[in-house]
Amino acid sequence: MQEMVEKIARSIVDNPEQVQVKKIEKDKSITLELSVADNDMGKVIGKQGRIARAIRTVVNAAATKEDKKVVVDIK
């Protein structure tokens, strides 16, 4: 799941080398913290959060096979 977020983010930003995803695993959920270069923030969030929403939708779909809820945070 972590790799998937990395793959999406690296493909849409201008500074792929600065993409980082931190995984925080709890009992019933996984939080993926995505961080990108300052000037790439807009590229992963989008107007009215449209890009962030699309990333979450795709990641959650991929997570349906696992039992855990996956949260994607952008910081």
Partner 1 sequence: MDKIRQEGKTVEEAVQAALEILQISREEAKIEVIEEGNNGFLGLIGAKSALVEVEAKKTSREIGKEFIEDLFSTVELEVNVDILEEQTDSEQITYDLHSPDLGIVIGHRGETLDALQYLTSLVVNKQANQYIRIILDAEGYRERRKQTLERLANKMARKCLDKGRKVVLEPMPPHERRIIHMTIKKNPRVKSYSEGEEPFRKVKIEEVD
Residues in touch with partner 1 (CB under 8 A): 1, 3-4, 6-8, 11-12, 48, 50-51, 53-55, 57-58, 61-62, 64-65
Coil, strand or helix: which one is 36?
Answer: coil
Which is nearest to 34 in space by CA: 62, 66, 12?
Answer: 12
Question: In this complex, which beta carbon is closest to partner 1, that of residue 7 or of residue 69?
Answer: 7
Question: In this complex, which beta carbon is closest to partner 1, that of residue 24 or of residue 49?
Answer: 49
For the bound state, the minimum distance from the C-beta of residue 46 to partner 1, rounded and expressed in Å, comes to 8
Which is nearest to 28 in space by CA: 62, 3, 63?
Answer: 63
Question: In this complex, which beta carbon is closest to partner 1, that of residue 37 or of residue 58?
Answer: 58
**Phi–psi pair at 58, nearest 5 degrees:** -65, -45
